[in-house]
Chain A
């Protein structure tokens, strides 16, 4: 862990918040992609 001095709170909040937003975006994108793909696969198999 680097020495962040008196601004440790601000730096950690910025990194924590940004990682949470990016992580949430990636997770939601992958999850919705997997759900839609599974649903389409099921529908196309039903049609066969």
Chain B
């Protein structure tokens, strides 16, 4: 069995139709469990008070905002190199999910920042690169909507995706490149933070465990939504093909 088999829309539809219900149920259960655990069953932090509960949304959403763009980049490269339509349609399907995740990360970050930093927004490297990533998502979706020919749209959006990847990487590593700004460095997805091997402050397990559950839920939610939306895009493409065939027959 090869991964390239799924470039065939019929094969993709058959397999995704079988696994989508399982992913949908798992996404709902794990996301609700992680978010509810974080909201209802974690204590207030001695510095942040109850605002610490916002991390159970902010961190998973920010992680998926970047990972969604990474997935779109891989799919775009597959389209550019191998011209598999399912790949281009999967990238298109992921963009609205990615923009929603970016919006949640920006919104929850602002709501947390106001009481903790004393400001809703700062032109900090990570915040700014995240805002630019959000604008790239909007531009990517607008470009798909603006071009009638799907192959041309896939070509141009693939180029845009490659360019926007700079900001996806920056939004993850900006705090490492420029040691300035308000946003702290990684405190969860750092090997030493989990094992206790490094000397920097690590997130207590009281928060880390529900946070990992919430992150797993957001990953499952992303997969379920991308599968569902890719299936819709494949069907929409089939409708266009049938309409074109009908016009040819009438002519």
| B235 contacts A11, C-beta separation under 8 Å | no
| A18 contacts B49, C-beta separation under 8 Å | no
| B231 contacts A33, C-beta separation under 8 Å | yes
- What is the CA–CA distance of A10 and B115 in the complex, to the nearest angstrom? 8
Shortest CB-to-CB span from A12 to chain B, Å, is 10
- What is the CA–CA distance of A5 and B172 in the complex, to the nearest angstrom? 32
Shortest CB-to-CB span from B72 to chain A, Å, is 16
Is B30 interfacial (CB-CB < 8 Å)?
A: no
The answer to whether residues A10 and B228 also contact, given A2-B39, A43-B242 and a CB cut-off of 8 A, is: no
What's the A-B contact tally at a CB cutoff of 8 Å? 92
- What is the CA–CA distance of A6 and B114 in the complex, to the nearest angstrom? 13
- What is the CA–CA distance of A30 and B70 in the complex, to the nearest angstrom? 24
| A25 contacts B96, C-beta separation under 8 Å | yes
Binary B-proximity of A1-31 (CB < 8 A = 1, otherwise 0): 0111111101101110110011011101110
A18: which B residues are within 8 A, CB to CB?
57, 61, 104, 107-108
- What is the CA–CA distance of A9 and B206 in the complex, to the nearest angstrom? 23
Shortest CB-to-CB span from B7 to chain A, Å, is 20
| B44 contacts A5, C-beta separation under 8 Å | yes
Is B4 interfacial (CB-CB < 8 Å)?
A: no
Shortest CB-to-CB span from B152 to chain A, Å, is 22
Number of residues in B with C-beta < 8 Å to the partner?
35
| B225 contacts A40, C-beta separation under 8 Å | no
Nearest-CB residue, chain B, relative to A42 = B239
Is A48 interfacial (CB-CB < 8 Å)?
A: no
Nearest-CB residue, chain A, relative to B53 = A11
Shortest CB-to-CB span from A19 to chain B, Å, is 8
| B111 contacts A10, C-beta separation under 8 Å | yes
Is B213 interfacial (CB-CB < 8 Å)?
A: no
B231: which A residues are within 8 A, CB to CB?
33
| B103 contacts A21, C-beta separation under 8 Å | yes
Nearest-CB residue, chain A, relative to B42 = A2
- CB contact between B111 and one of A3, A8, A13, A28 (< 8 Å): that residue: A13
| B57 contacts A14, C-beta separation under 8 Å | yes
| B50 contacts A7, C-beta separation under 8 Å | yes
The answer to whether residues A11 and B50 also contact, given A18-B108, A21-B104 and a CB cut-off of 8 A, is: yes
Nearest-CB residue, chain B, relative to A32 = B232
Nearest-CB residue, chain A, relative to B28 = A26
Q: List 13 A-B contacts (CB under 8 A).
A: A2-B39, A2-B40, A5-B49, A7-B51, A10-B115, A11-B39, A11-B50, A14-B54, A14-B112, A18-B108, A28-B96, A29-B228, A33-B232
